[in-house]
Structure 1
Amino acid sequence: MMSLLIVGHRGAMAHLPENSLASYALAEEVGVDEIELDVRLSKDEQLFLLHDATLDRTAGDDSARDLGPAAELTLAQLQAATLDSGRGVVTLAEMYDATHTFIQLEIKDPAVVPHLARFFEERPDDAARTVLTGFDADAVRHAAEMMPQIGRQVIVTEISKAEDFEGGLWALMDHAKVTRFASGFSGLTAELVDQLHARDIEVHVWPLRTMEQTREALRLGVDGATSDDPAQAIQWRDQILAENGVTVR
């Protein structure tokens, strides 16, 4: 039985506001191996972190509600709005300056790709602790072409979604030029994980919400799993490994 990397989903969002500096800090404090978070582009072409296309769901007060698409707001407007974290959006640079953990950076808007390339050209140390991820295979491919030095991961909700790609799963892997693949549990088998590993593609699962899912992730032999509550996920993983005589880190 192999170990399992635990990835904090938008930090430690079960306990602190998602995509906030506090959430990222808590994820690092509890010992995550990686943090997953989401990058978007403002109207004035600044990189910032937000999952949704608008601020509405994560609004802390009326200043962040009904402002329309975040992509149509300047960074100053995005920072002036109060989110549930008590402040405005976090910029990409702020996040990297405040963290040291490996980062899964999800491309929420394909328009960010050339801006990310310029960002990482100026910050090679941050590029070295990043994998670029996303559901949009074309955006991931574009990232591979512009930033070949950075790993890429395509995400699907379940294996059947990958098979829907023209040519199937393997065509998707080739098209997106991936070094990693992330999937929901549905349809994922140990045999498929082995086949992906044989192609030097790492495999991650998400979301990890129960101890039984943690057992399944370990049984499948995947490399990592993403959790809203990474402290709990680490506890589950370490307990299962200990039960199987595996020395816990």
Structure 2
Amino acid sequence: MDPRRVDYTGEGISEDELLATPYAQVRAWVDEAVTRADAQPDVPEPYALSVATVDAEGRPNVRTVLLRFLDERGPGFVTATTSAKGREIAANAHVAAALTWPAMYRSVRFRGRAVALDEAEVREYWDSRPWGSRVSAWASQQSAPTGSREDLERAYEARAAEFPEDAGAVPLPEFWGGYRVVCDEVELWGGRRNRLHDRIVYTRVGDGDLGDAAAWEVSRRQP
């Protein structure tokens, strides 16, 4: 494979630019990514969140979900709790996650532990989902094998008939929920020319959340 050479022309990030807390800084970057996605097509999914877990043998497993919650408590996502990620989190709650916006030469990495979302938060988000997305959650046995695409579509059609769009709400499945990452570390990556990138790291030194500046120490890592 021939190497493709792209010099990253981002502005990076310096310590004197940081906002008061890790939450404020991450929120600002997410909001900027969403604004850019709305204005031009080079950030097609600003909420794409890669989540890494480990299986029973300690082997890493990573997949991309969507960031659906972000506040001072940390980033959160929804899933079938019976999926591979749900089973792995139940056995080992330590996770890593990352938001990456290549066109903006930016990334945010989170490390910490996954905790289950409150049922009220899950239900509120579930009720906001389009009808088809709620039907899909019922139709898919997430992470389980399937014989064919046709089998999956038949399962969807059966659930769509069970929960018709004009007949009221699709109930929340008992196997569907979500997780929030309670962070011990948050890293901001900003791409720069000649691979001399910026890596600014917030490391937990206290019990506060992402909105508590006193709970975090700021340092810089070499690229």
Normalising to structure 1: TM-score of the pair?
Answer: 0.21
Greater relative contact order (Cα 8 A, min sep 6): structure 1 or 2?
2
Rg larger in 1 or in 2? 2
- Higher strand fraction: Structure 1 or Structure 2? 2
Task: Write 1 or 2 for the structure with the bigger share of helix.
Answer: 1
